[in-house]
Structure 1
C-alpha cells in the first residue's frame, strides 16, 4: 500500500497552477490527496492530476473565528486520513495545516515558503505576521524556502532555527520547457492575436503577467510607460520589419533604424481592487491610454508572451515568480526588481535587467534601453531560454522533491 501525502493550499488556484503535473507525478509513488477550498480549480486538479481532493475552506486574510473552524476541520481530516506527510505551500494553509498536523500527530509536516508577506509590512501588522510564521515553523518538522532570497529573509527575521534547504535551484514546480516554448504558438495564431489586440509588426510590446495590484509594481509600470510615450522620443528602434530592413541606407551598420517609437504595454491578469487597489491615476491611464492593452485573466498566457518582446515585472515582493520563468522559456528577456526570486532567475545584463523596487525612473531607463539598444537586447534575448531550461526544467524539481520525501521518511 502506498504511503499517503496530503498537499494543502489556501485556494485551489494554487494547486492548479503552482503544482501542475507535480501531483500526478508524486501520485505514482504515494497516495496524494489535495486539500483547499472548493471551486472549478479543485475540480481541474482532481481530473487532470488523477488525485483525490477534499474541500476545506481557508481564508486568505485573518479571520479568527473562520480560521478556527478551518483548523478544526483540518485536524479531524488529518486524524481520519493518518497521512505520513502533510505539505503546505501558501501562508494561511501553511499556518493552519502545520498546527492541525501537529495536534493530529502527523509524523512529517512540511511547509514550503513560496514568498514572505511581512518584509514589506510595518508596525503591528508586521509583528503579527512574523509571530504567525514563527508559530507555523514551530509546528512544522521541515521548512523549505522556495529560493535563496526567501531563505535569507527567514534567517534575518529569526523566523526559525530549523535547517532551511532550497531544493534543486529553487521554485516549487520548475518549468515545462516543452509547453512554454514559442514554437507551441503558431505564426498564424500570433498574427490573429496581434490583429485582435491592435498590435502591429513594428510595435515593441512590454508585457506584464499577474494580478493588477499595487504590490506588483503596476503603478510604477504604468507611470514609466506614460512618461516614455509622452516624451515622444525619436529612438533607434530595433524591431525591424522586412520592409524597413530593405529601406535602410548603405551607410547604416545593418542593425538599427531610426524610427518613431511604436510602443505597447500588454497587461495580462485580473484587477483585484478589493485587496490592494491601484492608484486612481493608474486606473484612469489604463482605461484611457489606447496603447495600454488590458486583457484580464488568461488561462493560457503563452500566446500573449509569444507576441511580446520583453517582460516588465516590477513587483515589490515575490517568492520565486513563475511568470519570469515562463517568459524566459518563451525567449523573452525580463526587467525585474531586486527582490527575492526575481534576482535569482535574472542575471543583470545577461538575460534581463534588475532595477530597484518602486523606482519609476530606473524602470523607465531600463525599458528605453531594451527598446533602443539592439546589441544589448539581442544578447539578452539569445540567453533567455537557455538559462531557464538549464536550471529550472520541471523534471529536475520533481525528482528533487521526491528524493527529499524519501530521505526524510526513512
Structure 2
C-alpha cells in the first residue's frame, strides 16, 4: 500500500524513550499505513556477496520515495553507483521504521536520518557514524497566518502551537525556550497530525512545516476567501536557521564498528558517499529531471509538488559553506549537540545527557570523496547555485 499523497515527510521516529502517543487523527493514519511493507529499488538477498562483479549495498531511507532523497535515486538511475562498483538497493521506510535501528541490526549498510534522532540512539549504545552531512541547513519552520501576528518565537506565547513530536520538535522547543517561553505553561501544545488540516481549519495557530513538503501543502490549497491558492504573503514563517536553533538533519550514517574493523567497508563507504554526492550534484543542476526520476521510482506526489521538493531540498544543500557538500561543520554539530543536551520537550526530556563519542561523526570519508570528485571536475560547492521558480498547482498536481 502506498502512503496517501501529501503525507508529511520525513517522519522517522526518535529513540523509544522519547516517543509520544499520536492524537487520534495521526493514529488512524499510522494504522492505515502500518500494513505497508518497505519497498525497494531492486532485490538484494545477500549483502555480503558480490553480484555481477558489483558489491551489494542496501540504503535505508527515512520515508518513501520522494525528492527529499532525489540524490540517491539519481545516482541509482544514472549508474553512478554501478560505476563505483556498487549494486545499490534503496529500502523505503514504513511508519514504524527507525532507520538507524535497521542499520544497527545489519539489515542495511547505510541509513539516512536526522542527527538529533540518532544522538539518542548513540547514547543508548548504537555504534554509528555520520559520514556525510548532506543537508547543511534545516528545512523545519513554524508557519502561521498573518492575522495571528506571530513573527518571532516569542509571539508563540499563549498560542496553539502544533508539533509532530517524534524527535521533530527540538528546534521548535529550543527556539521557544531561547525566547524565554516556559514551554510547560506558556503555550497550548497541540499534537499535530502528519498533514496541514489542523492548521488550515484554524485548530492550530502556528504549525510545523518542512520547507519542502508541508509548506507546499498549504500553498497548493485554495484560500476559501479568495478562491485562489494561498501565497507566501498570506503567511508568517519562522525559520530556525535564522533564529539560531537549527539542528542538522539528513545525513548518511554508517556502522562505526565496521568502519574501524573492516577495511573493505571503509573503502565501500568512500565510494558510496562519492556516488551519492554525484547524484546530488545532478539534482542541483537538473531539478526537473531529478523530480521525474523520483516520480518514476514510485512517488505518489504530484508533479508540481515533487519539483517544489527538489528545488527546496537543493536550497538546504547548495551552496555549501563548509568546503563541499557532505562535510560536517564542527560548529553546526556542536550547536545540534548543545540543543540535544539542554533543551527539554513537553515531557521534560532532553535527547541526550552527555556528549556523544568522537566516533559519532567523521569527515574522513567525505573528504576523500570530494577530492576524487574535484579531480573529475565536479563542482562540489555550488557557489553559483540559483534555485528555480516553481509554480505549485492545486493539490500539487
After TM superposition, the score normalised by the length of structure 1 is 0.29
Relative contact order higher in (CA < 8 Å, ≥ 6 apart): 2
- Select the structure that is richer in helix: 1
After TM superposition, the score normalised by the length of structure 2 is 0.30
